[in-house]
Structure 1
């Protein structure tokens, strides 16, 4: 890097970092996915238990990541942790999956949710209105609005981290206040009869059918139902680790990353539990399960606020998803920047613009997210994302054990809370979740896995060519990868594996 080249500026305070954690977590999921969870588990107790299990996993993972963030307080986050704990291949597979599925599809899903709720205020943006029909492929106006929001937020973030952080902190504080307001008014609208009905048989695990009937699970099917139910809650609680991606722009990162991870995940976990308690206090369980297009929050707000409830909740969700996507877009580009610096992504993604942000990385992320916006439905994206995400979380947390053995004397400002019990428990829970998801929801979990594994031949093509061009040098994967990018290979051939 040239001496006068732009560098990351540490402009994010502890509050900014905490708002990035909370803001990236709270998107559209908490307002929608409780319907699907209720259909799978069929009782109020299990509805809350699913959210509690997810919250426990999220907090455990966040506390474990605190140790890794203290050891490697630089841009790239999970990509860096996996590369350091294992090898460049595992780090690359995460970065590949992050770019091709995890982050870009999440941005798309949140963008689609923004557009769906915007249609409550402006019906012209309804997902049912076709904007273009090619015969084999249709595009709705909601999808076009989703793309417009992704492009707008990408542009805002190319203007500098201060612009992005101001937007993020403002929107996150707004939606936290809004959620607290929903909880307070929800308590005022508490219906003792509804509450008693919902909690009269609170711990029976059963499928709740849309026609009003119930069924029974075998033991193994019950485990699959819990895993299927957790897809939505895990998606809703994901992206908490995005703060580690912008470590190079956080003040006192060794201290503030760990603190923001804990504070942000705890705040959101408690809010999610409280919100679901309110749902069961104002809506019969059957209405939660059968909410129109799974929009539980809309149904609850109509009870809480009356006819104005739809508009109030639509505005809340638009603020929530807009702020969430800002955090996702801001953080994601930093992973591609670090990969490019290692020679494993487009060369231009490793450059900062005059505002000291990776503009090219932001725009290429934007392109892929827009493609995902056109490709699938909200629920389909959730299945694919949750499976891949939890798989890499398990690998990352297992990396704590590896690094303690490989680098026992390394500086660790934080140590994983509850080590080794809590990290092992997370790995076991995550493994059970992934196995059950493969069995019971294979349609989209297998494609997610195959996309991740497709990174293996791409990696060896990049590294192999670089190694041969270097004359068989053994100076390391990082150097070899850098030679590939800076040699005769084009950027397109690196990503396409041609």
Structure 2
């Protein structure tokens, strides 16, 4: 309590998350998190399952529409329950503490840190590649891991330093991502206009029509490129005028990214056939070799720029999950604290970065991500089901944003298909292990959340961290404590 009082005295203002994310910042957060390395490196998962160019473009468009439907559904429940933390406060209000806790547990321990670790490793490989190419060798594993850890530490520093600084960086990197895709798109337009490379678009629907299974798997691949459409719900309490800016940012960002992805895929097919695209290990690099000539070096620069921006956005939102969960009493209290001067959830951000660094150490954790990724759509579907529940249970509740009822229904159906598709297609015991891990969170929930068991050693450790990080409880938490 003495530390909390000292923190409040030095802060000279109310201790709470500040509304420093503007409309442009919100759009940048969504765009910056969605556009990662996938659209540059290997957008072939959709085409492989589609069977033809025309069907592939329809699946890409369908992924954009589905992601937009999901984002609009989140906008409705997000403005109904204007709390940060993404799915956590929504599931808490709709279905109670257990589903909310399992979401926070899975996201904090596996989903968000593993995503940050994988992104940092991708950045490291592309950043080191030019130096090692001179010697015709691959970057050493140790060099890649040290670079990845350095990236994580830089991202943590930026996110702990200032919310405004983080959003400014996100805006700059989002602009760079859009510019990089526009260069590829312009290159494709030049190829079409000057050389008439349209032969690969002829008979676009020739080939075996995809079945239900192939369409589902194609969507599963395409939606990876759109992952991040829900990011603004994690920072609603920091968004200026959220009732207006949340839906505007969602619509603008989704329209921009969907259009860019569609046009980028068109550009790729001005220089390569379906077979060449499927055989290419890095589609953008193959495109660059043909179109950019001596400027082909910009492709790895684009990838690094894009991935670093995604790291920033991922870390920015990840910290808000454990922060809000701790504020509700689901995690240890130190995670609910803000830096007394900077008003950033420093302990929660540091936890996400620390786990990500631990995940960089093993040789290969990609398999772990593969088998846990489907769980995210469990929570996406549950959140849209919560919207339907609120429509039935609270029909007169104020809704600053209200979407047509068919939108969340479609997202719920799609979520069921996306969860079941990989299991049915390739059933493995790993999916059972992943489910068991998610449910293992109950081993911590019942003693520490439900029965409120307390440990003196944990309290002592929390006090040590509070002194070390100079953090304090938000006013609303201390008042209710």
Is the pair's TM-score, using the shorter chain for normalization, greater than 0.5?
Answer: yes
Where does 1:178-189 land on structure 2 (aligned, <5 Å)?
Answer: 178-189=180-191
1:128 Cα deviation from its structure 2 partner: 4.4
Partner of 1:339: 325
Partner of 1:55: 64
**Maintained 8 Å contact 1:9/1:356:** yes
Distance in 1 of aligned mates of 2:346 and 2:22: 22
Q: Deviations over 1:449-496 (max 9, x none)?
A: 333222233222323431xxxxxxxxxxxxxxxxx46x54737999xx
1:129 Cα deviation from its structure 2 partner: 4.0
Distance in 2 of aligned mates of 1:199 and 1:379: 37
Partner of 1:105: 114
Where does 1:379-398 land on structure 2 (aligned, <5 Å)?
Answer: 380=367, 383-398=370-385
Partner of 2:467: none
**Maintained 8 Å contact 2:20/2:164:** yes
Distance in 2 of aligned mates of 1:186 and 1:261: 28
Partner of 2:335: 349
Q: Which moved more, 1:80-89 or 1:382-391?
A: 382-391
**Maintained 8 Å contact 1:337/1:351:** yes
Partner of 1:300: 287
Distance in 2 of aligned mates of 1:340 and 1:430: 28
Distance in 1 of aligned mates of 2:346 and 2:115: 20
1:489/1:203 CA distance change after superposition, 3 Å: farther
Distance in 1 of aligned mates of 2:165 and 2:126: 26
Partner of 1:318: 304
Partner of 1:240: 229
Work out which of the residue numbers 380, 402, 405 in structure 1 matches 2:389.
402
Q: Deviations over 1:186-243 (max 9, x none)?
A: 211239786424543535347xxxxxxxxxx8xxxx4333333333322221122111
**Maintained 8 Å contact 1:106/1:385:** no
Q: Deviations over 1:238-286 (max 9, x none)?
A: 1221111111211111221222122212211111111111112221111
**Maintained 8 Å contact 2:188/2:266:** no
Partner of 2:458: 490
Work out which of the residue numbers 367, 371, 384 in structure 1 matches 2:358.
371
Q: Which moved more, 1:173-182 or 1:7-16?
A: 173-182
Partner of 1:470: none
SS at match of 2:269: helix
Matched, 1:428 2:430: no
How many residue pairs match? The answer is 449
Partner of 1:330: 316
1:338 Cα deviation from its structure 2 partner: 0.6
Distance in 1 of aligned mates of 2:203 and 2:145: 42
1:201/1:265 CA distance change after superposition, 3 Å: closer
**Maintained 8 Å contact 2:128/2:139:** no
1:96 Cα deviation from its structure 2 partner: 0.9
Work out which of the residue numbers 202, 207, 210 in structure 2 matches 1:204.
207
**Maintained 8 Å contact 1:118/1:314:** yes
TM-score norm. by structure 2 comes to 0.86
SS at match of 1:414: coil
Partner of 2:253: 264
Partner of 2:11: none
**Maintained 8 Å contact 1:24/1:242:** yes
Q: Which runs of 5+ in 1 are unaligned?
A: 132-139, 207-216, 467-483
Partner of 2:175: 173
Q: Which runs of 5+ in 2 are unaligned?
A: 9-13, 463-481
